[in-house]
Chain A
Amino acid sequence: MASNREIEELAQGEYEHGWETDIEADRIPKGLSADIVRIISAKKNEPEWLLEWRLKAFDHFLTLEEPDWAHVQYPKIDLQNLYYYSAPKPKKKLASLDEVDPKLLETFDKLGIPLEEQKMLSGVAVDAVFDSVSVRTTFREQLAEAGVIFCSFSDAVQEHPELVKQYLGSVVPQTDNYYAALNSAVFSDGSFVWIPKGTRCPMELSTYFRINDRETGQFERTLIVAEEGAHVSYLEGCTAPQRDENQLHAAVVELVCLDDAEIKYSTVQNWYPGDEQGKGGIYNFVTKRGACRGRRSKISWTQVETGSAITWKYPSCLLQGDESIGEFYSVALTNNFQQADTGTKMIHIGRNTRSTIISKGISAGHAHNSYRGLVKVMKGATGARNYSQCDSLLIGDRCGAHTFPYIESRNPDAQIEHEATTSKISDDQLFYCRQRGLNEEDAVSMIVNGFCKDVFNELPMEFAVEAQKLLSVSLEGAVG
């Protein structure tokens, strides 16, 4: 065998977002209790109904056990040893509410996300979330002209309480699962998007999540509603500083699609993955679900996951409307001691509903990468169709790939196809590339990118380029 060790070394990429911003934080005491929930709600000046909603979630949370069915291993998280709210405190008093601490602007600049509109890529509006709060949402005015609401979750609660009340928890109830219940109790901010009837959102919307403070959990919620015939493409990106301790990120994302509406939700997740020894890194325990409520509605999840010590997430679609469509395209790359248990659930409820699942898992080093997916066809879902393809690529011989497909069909008319492959980068492929002049690192990167092509094709253009780069960086050094 050629060069297992060498190839594995290719995976030792440097994490380039590992620095931290030195900024004073407004934190509340450590620990988790009903009082903490009340403090967070008070900090956000929330209406009574939302506090009630949070407390209901918290009560339910207390009855739940931490789930252990995922194919991941980690020491128990001490939830009492976390800060649940940490907001950057401005040094001086800012002149207006719209003004942002220059240090934060600098932070996002350094991450490649300039928040001054004149500097931004035209056509992409950004909501920047730093620890527990949204620091700025760009292009709000222009979007408002089109009738689109894009703002932080906190602002939405203040400015559009009726919409929040109508949809919050309607896809992921606050009692859904352990982490969703925790999030519902203590969430601090996130993004809110509402696209009115018949509107095509004039620009890409995106949220950039940054965890900065130590021993702080990030619990944000995203809620996107596309009314009849509306169309939106939304992107999210995530990074965190390099720290020795693990940090928890437990988000909830809810999507609602009415008749003929379409939501395209793309993620490039690059949380700090821990070092080569597996020390530190983010625990990414996320619940993402979209409801295709309307006829012919469509939700498409595309994710590129290269970060986090542990990833536990299953962006799912409830295909309620007749002829609605759910899609899931995923690239998950794990290296060193990273673990990922990710996949999707496609629940076919309406007639002639269709779903497509394309999952590409890449493991290097000692990493473990699992695809876990459920395709469920309910009794009434006549004419339902699903196609799933799960491919795994192994780099080196100490990593693992696992596939857990679950299929439940209660309608004999359903067509469900599942294909799975596992392959390794072969010595023959490497030699072929090197004989043509490519070095080993570029060869591996090219082969891996080729493996992921079906998914990258689904990403918005500028993200596709970023995703390819990210993959190369994450694999860097795996060849000596």
Chain B
Amino acid sequence: MLRIENLHARVDGKEILKGINLEVAAGEVHAIMGPNGSGKSTLANVLCGREGYEVTSGSVSYDDQDLLALEPEERAAKGVFLSFQYPVEIPGVSNTYFLKAALDAQRRARGLEEMDAADFLRLLREKAGLLQLDPSLLSRPVNVGFSGGEKKRNEILQMAILEPRLAILDETDSGLDIDALRVVSEGVNALRSPERASIIVTHYQRLLDYIVPDHVHVLRAGQIVRSGDKSLALQLEEKGYSWIGEGEA
């Protein structure tokens, strides 16, 4: 589904990604771990086409298409979703309206009809219920005045409605208490299917107790220095990132 080859990228003229290679097949969950500044969030943003993240070499193919050639909204319409580390506030725009507009835009791009408003509201209430999201948040402006945990749950609500094929979660666990972590994880697990894949970017292994990954990769100084299965995350938890030496890649 996703094939990243020798990906190099710069931010503000500084090279952050220095040759990432990664292959994600449909049905898989990959965790990307690593110390602060290793390039985890940069990778997530590059995959979604954020401005200011300049790809200097390498390639990314998604369903055999050049992902890097697409606009951010085109990537979204093809099913690439980013759960933001810092969800953005949009004053005056209701959460419900925003999500309906996003869903309709994606459906139009895929040649589908817009969703009927009543059906949408039913779906929204159902998903919000599963995520134990306070219903009043649905009519409030997007993320305005939401607590940190509410913002993260709102990201997962958007994901549940948009049903992406490739979900990228950028430090979704940061700032979540243990109950919220469980609810969010259930939301992510609910989307697991043979057609979909996820990339979980995280600093800590505790999220991986709930979302069990098929593969774990350790990112360090812009490169994947080690890959393994779930046990790698546990080892990291125990021994810390310094356990993987510089030259070990």
| A interface residues with partner B (beta carbon < 8 Å) | 2-3, 426-429, 431-440, 442, 446-447, 449-454
Contact = CB atoms under 8 A, between A and B. Distances in A.
Given A433-B98, A437-B105, 6 more contacts: A2-B52, A3-B51, A434-B73, A447-B93, A450-B93, A454-B92
Given A428-B88, A429-B88, A437 B106 contact: yes
13 contacts: A426-B88, A431-B51, A432-B90, A434-B76, A435-B81, A437-B73, A437-B76, A439-B73, A440-B73, A446-B98, A449-B92, A451-B92, A454-B92
A86 B156 CA distance: 62
Contacts of B93: 446-447, 449-450, 453
- Number of contact residues on B: which range applies? 20 to 34
Given A434-B76, A442-B101, A450 B158 contact: no
B13 to A, nearest CB: 14
B51 A437 contact: no
B84 interface: yes
A429 B90 contact: yes
Contacts of B77: 437
6 tightest A-B contacts by CB?
A450-B92, A450-B93, A436-B102, A453-B92, A437-B106, A437-B76
B133 to A, nearest CB: 17
Contact of B88 (A432, A437, A450): A432
B92 to A, nearest CB: 3
B27 interface: no
A436 B90 contact: no
A426 B52 CA distance: 13
B156 to A, nearest CB: 13
Interface of A is mostly: helix
Given A446-B98, A450-B141, A436 B91 contact: no
A439 B92 contact: no
Nearest to A447: B90
Interface of B: 48-52, 71-73, 75-77, 81-82, 84, 86-93, 98-99, 101-103, 105-106, 109, 141, 158, 162
Contacts of B158: 436
A3 B72 CA distance: 14
Contacts of B86: 428
A432 B141 contact: no
B50 A431 contact: yes
Given A2-B51, A442-B101, A435 B92 contact: no
A342 to B, nearest CB: 21
A447 B109 CA distance: 21
B123 to A, nearest CB: 16
B102 A427 contact: no
Contacts of B88: 426, 428-429, 431-432
A439 B105 contact: yes
A446 B90 contact: yes
A361 to B, nearest CB: 15
B198 to A, nearest CB: 16
B91 A432 contact: no
A439 B106 CA distance: 10
A438 B158 CA distance: 14
Nearest to B83: A435
A73 to B, nearest CB: 32
Interface centre among A436, A449, A453 (most CB of B within 10 A): A436
A429 B93 CA distance: 12
Interface centre among A435, A446, A449, A450 (most CB of B within 10 A): A435
Given A432-B90, A436-B162, A446 B76 contact: no
Nearest to A432: B88
A399 B49 CA distance: 28
Nearest to B108: A437
Contacts of B50: 431, 435
A61 B79 CA distance: 66
B248 to A, nearest CB: 35
Contacts of A432: 84, 87-88, 90
A452 B92 contact: yes
B52 A438 contact: no
Contacts of A436: 76, 98-99, 102, 105-106, 158, 162
Contacts of A450: 90-93, 141
A426 B50 CA distance: 13
Nearest to B81: A435
Nearest to A425: B90
